[in-house]
Amino acid sequence: MEISDRISVIMDDIVTQRVDAIVNAANNSLLGGGGVDGAIHQAAGPELLEECRKLGGCPTGEAKITRGYNLPAKWVIHTVGPVWKGGMCDEDRMLYRAYRSSLELARQYQIRSIAFPGISIGAYGFPIERAADIAVRSVWDFLTEVNTINEVILVCYNQRAFNIYSDALKNVINNIALDQKRSNGSSK
């Protein structure tokens, strides 16, 4: 299966995704918050908070896993993206790492399908175009190395986010195709 067939962008609600795992754009405490984090905690039920209390928080760029409880997904992978501080505090690398850490946990737990929200683009203020490029690139890079994950869905909450993430995915696919065309042309 081609990598481009394993990544999709949709406009929907992350808590309704029927996948093995959904990713929570969490804060460092893992004890719930607003936005995606609050919606996931509310939909999963109080057992999620109880399990998160035992995890001892999570550093930025890393991920931890819990059961999904009342969610359609069996697992919730909690990752902490960076707060945007103007781009001079290693935010790009930390965001890339948040996606990568989530995917590494998915591989470890033999998760075949996973849905991501836009990490750090809400209250953390990461510029959405930049975040979308990093999200797609990190997922693409991981899927070139690992073939056990069959489906990665980037779930967008509104039309603007959907358009931006879709464009980011198209750009990566087009750039890969262009690179392949160039390398095939130079090998003749």
Q: Beta strand pairing status for 75-79 and 21-25?
A: parallel
Chain CA centroid to CA 29, Å:
19
Q: What is the spatial distance between Cα 20 and Cα 25, in angstroms, rounded to a whole number?
A: 17
Give start and end residues of each alpha helix (H) in the chain: 35-44, 46-53, 91-108, 128-145, 159-186
- Given this model, what pLDDT does residue 187 score? 54
Q: What is the spatial distance between Cα 60 and Cα 117, in angstroms, rounded to a whole number?
A: 16
- C-beta separation of 135 from 153 below 8 A: no
Q: Which domains does the chain have, with CATH numbers?
A: 3-186 (3.40.220.10)
Q: What is the spatial distance between Cα 7 and Cα 183, in angstroms, rounded to a whole number?
A: 24
Q: What is the spatial distance between Cα 173 and Cα 113, in angstroms, rounded to a whole number?
A: 20
Closest CA to 134 of 88, 100, 85: 100
- Given this model, what pLDDT does residue 188 score? 52
Q: State the CB neighbour count (10 A cutoff) for residue 72.
A: 12
Per annotation, catalytic residue among 13, 20, 37, 141: 37
pLDDT tens track of the chain, all 188 residues? 788 999 999 999 999 999 999 999 999 999 998 999 999 999 999 999 999 999 999 999 999 999 999 999 999 999 999 999 999 999 999 999 999 999 999 999 999 999 999 999 999 999 999 999 999 999 999 999 999 999 999 999 999 999 999 999 999 988 887 777 787 776 55
Does residue 5 have an active-site annotation? Answer: no
Mean pLDDT of the chain: 95
